[in-house]
Amino acid sequence: MDEIQKLFYCALAFLAFQLVVAFACWRLARKKGRDTVGWFLAGLFFSVGALLWLWLLPGVEAAGQTKACSGCGKIVAWRAEICPNCGSPLVTPEIVATITLRRPLRSCFLVAFLIFVLLLVVLGLIGYFAVPDQPGKPIP
């Protein structure tokens, strides 16, 4: 296996790891009533750091995602009928259409992600046109 191939497999393994962490962030964000797409992207960029940060953040109430238990105040899944913490019976509130969810993290990371992809494309094009196809062959 040559160096380029080794590098390629390392990059592939790194990307796979980042995707696993990003997916874990997404699941945890959903459980905590936080922005799933925003935290997925945060996991993709900041890896385990984002996951730890999210893990330390408290859960929040988000319509259709999570609600607070009327008995103990703990954040539980939206469709939970019994609180897993204190056992109180829970009701699922109706989603009010006028509630607008604010997702600042999502838009922030979407912009960062687009800039990142654009940068990769530009660097790829520079690399493609600047480096000769056969490094051993002298340029005419």
**Residues 4-43, mask of contacts with Zn ion (x by CB under 5 A):** ----------------------------------------
Stretch that binds Zn ion, among 7-15, 41-49, 84-92, 98-106 (CB under 5 A): 84-92
Q: 31, 48, 85, 103: which one contacts Zn ion (CB under 5 A)? A: 85
Any contact of residue 71 with Zn ion (CB under 5 A)? Answer: yes
CA 58, chain centre distance (Å): 17
**Sole binder of Zn ion in the list 72, 95, 117, 122 (CB under 5 A):** 72
Tokens 């925003």 found at: 38
- Residue 128 C-beta: closest distance to Zn ion, Å: 58
Identify which range of 10-18, 21-29, 42-50, 76-84 contacts Zn ion by CB under 5 A. 76-84
CB of 31 to Zn ion, least distance (A): 15
3-state secondary structure the chain: CCHHHHHHHHHHHHHHHHHHHHHHHHHHHHHCCCCHHHHHHHHHHHHHHHHHHHHHCCCCCECCCEEECCCCCCEEECCCCECCCCCCECCCCCCCCCCCCCCHHHHHHHHHHHHHHHHHHHHHHHHHHHCCCCCCCCCC
Binding residues for Zn ion, rule: CB under 5 A, are 69, 71-72, 83, 85-86, 88
